[in-house]
Every structure is written in structure tokens, then in C-alpha cells.
Amino acid sequence: MKKKLLGILSMTLVLVMFLVGCGSTTPQESSNEGGLKVGLVVAGGLGDRSFYDSSNEGLNMAIEKLGATGKVLECKNDATLYTDQLIQASNISDVVVVVGFEFYDVIQEVAKEFPDKKYIYIDNVIEGVDNITCIDYKENEGSFLAGALAAMKSETGKIGMVGGMDIPVVRNFQVGYEAGAKYVNKDIQVETIFAGDFEDPAKGKESALALYSKGVDIIFQVAGKTGEGVFEAAKDTNKFAIGVDSDQRYINPDNIIASMIKAVDLSIFESLEKVQNNEFEAGKVYEYGAKENGVSMSYGSDDMVKLVDDETKAKIDELSKKIISGEIEVPEAK
């Protein structure tokens, strides 16, 4: 009887261990034994086909090329999760990549509790904290190119922008966009609407339709998932849009003429590579502009309908070179 009972208990233990093992890895967790342990904490959620997805691509590059271990923790724009998710990531990771302006205060509090952990803060600047390193993008330079392109392609002399929220980083997009448009055509009209949300396509569509109704024929979306509504409005009205952060032309190649790339993926990968090679400078602010391949314009793949001709692309490339050389100084708003 004892032997039979021990056998049952052994089988039960094996079954429990098997089930625990099967449930330990989610689609957002990848591991390579012995590699750098990285936690990616995003204020919103994956699936925006823009900013957050680009950060995840940077993590995946590190997993593939550096042999890192990666786990993504999403907050879904729930402020009650910011601290908990950041603490969880800190407990399981060597390096925590933090994505979202919403973490400005939280990351400083948590970093003090984990002085031996490295934090990489994306798209914001904090100085004076030894274990927080920041990645700051010159989105105004990339937006200058987007504005120039919109001005070159506009037939009505009116272009627009839909921003997610009226915050410094989005205003930096705005001033660059307006400056680029005015550089090409000093008389062009540029109108901006802030949708008030980064996760609401319905608000993005409503904002875009309001601009299109005023004669705007090209809209630059700087609104994360809200920007998907801008693309819908462009399709419904047979007007045009410009994507942001990632190459978004594939979403609707008939109405999205180009995208302003903000190389979040590249900057995260390069930062993690520096950590692995002991070249990482904790507490530093790394800048990514046109010179560092941090911002640029992308026009989709060769199999897509061509909405920007080679001559126009060459003009945009020339403007980028002038920004890099310092011949063109792009205004900044953050």
C-alpha cells in the first residue's frame, strides 16, 4: 500500500512540474541561458505597429544577436501598474528598458531601490541618477523631413498633423514638421490637432477628418495607436498621410506616402550591445538624430505603389545631409 501511494505521489509531482514548466514562458518572454537578462517595460501595449512595437523589435534583436534573455511587461496605460511592473522587471533583469514619458517620476523612485541594476529610459531625459541612462531622439530633425515632403506633395497648400497628446516630445515633432514645410514653401498652412490619447483610433479618425474637411490633403500622424484612425480617415476621404516611428506604409500603401522613422529599435539594441561589451556609460544621455541614423524617412518596400518619386526622395536626402552638416538648424521644443 505504501509503495502504491508513493508511486501516485511521484507521478503527481512529475505532472505538476511538467505543467509549471509549460506555463513559465509566454509569447512575450524569450530566454537564452546565461545571456544578458533584459526587462522591457512599456507604458502602453504592444500591437501599436509604431513606438512600442519598435522597442520590442530592439529587444528581439538583442535576443537574436546577443543571446540575451527578454521579457516584456505591458502597463496598458494603467497608471496603477507603472510601479509594480517596473519593480517586477527590476527583480528579474540585469537591465531594464523603460518606454514611455509616463515613467518620469516612477523610474527615479524605483532606480534608487535597485542601485545595482541598469535602467535605459527611452525618449526622455533624466540627469544626475547614476544608474539611469537616457536615449533622447531628435524627432524634430526627422519631422523636418516629413514636413518638407508634405509641402512638396501637397496640392492644396494645406497640410496637417495629429498629435497624441500636447506634451514636449510631440511638440518637438510639431515644430520640426512646421519648419520643414516652411523651408519648402513659406506660404504653406500647417494645422495641428492633439487628440488627447495615444490608444484611441476613433479619436485619431475624428481629428483627421476635421483637418481634411478644412482642405488639408496630407496629415502627419504622431499619435501611436490613435494614429491608425488617421490612416482610416485618409482612406475614407482619398487623402494622404505620413506614418511615424516605424515604416507604416504596409498598413495602407495607397494612402500612406511615407513614414518618419524614429529608430527606437536600433537605439535599444546598440545600448544593450554596449552593456554586454562593457562600453555602456551609466548616467549618460545618448542622442539619436539624423547623424546617428536615429531619424530618417522611409517609403515602403519596392512592391508597393510608388507615391514619392525618385527626384523628391533625392531632395529629402539632400535636406538630411544639410541637417547633419549643420547647414540647416532645426528648431527644438523640448
Domains of the chain: 31-137+265-288 (3.40.50.2300), 139-261+301-325 (3.40.50.2300)
AA letter at 69 = T
Per-residue pLDDT of the chain (334 residues; tens, 9 = 90+): 434 333 433 433 333 333 333 333 333 555 555 689 999 999 999 998 889 999 999 999 999 999 999 999 999 999 999 999 999 999 999 999 999 999 999 999 999 999 999 999 999 999 989 999 999 999 999 999 999 999 999 999 999 999 999 999 999 999 999 999 999 999 999 999 999 999 899 999 999 999 999 999 999 999 999 999 999 999 999 999 999 999 999 999 999 999 999 999 999 999 999 999 999 998 999 999 999 999 999 999 999 999 999 999 999 999 999 999 999 999 999 8
Q: What is the pTM of this model?
A: 0.85
AA letter at 13 = L
AA letter at 268 = I
DSSP string for residues in 70-135: EEEEE-TT-GGGHHHHHHHHHHH-SEEEEE-GGGHHHHHHHHHH-TTSEEEEET----S-TTEEEE
Q: 236: closest CA among 260, 258, 248, 219?
A: 219
For position 282, what pLDDT does the model report? 87
For position 300, what pLDDT does the model report? 95
Q: 183: closest CA among 220, 222, 129, 146?
A: 146
Give the integer Cα–Cα distance in Å for 81 and 44. 11
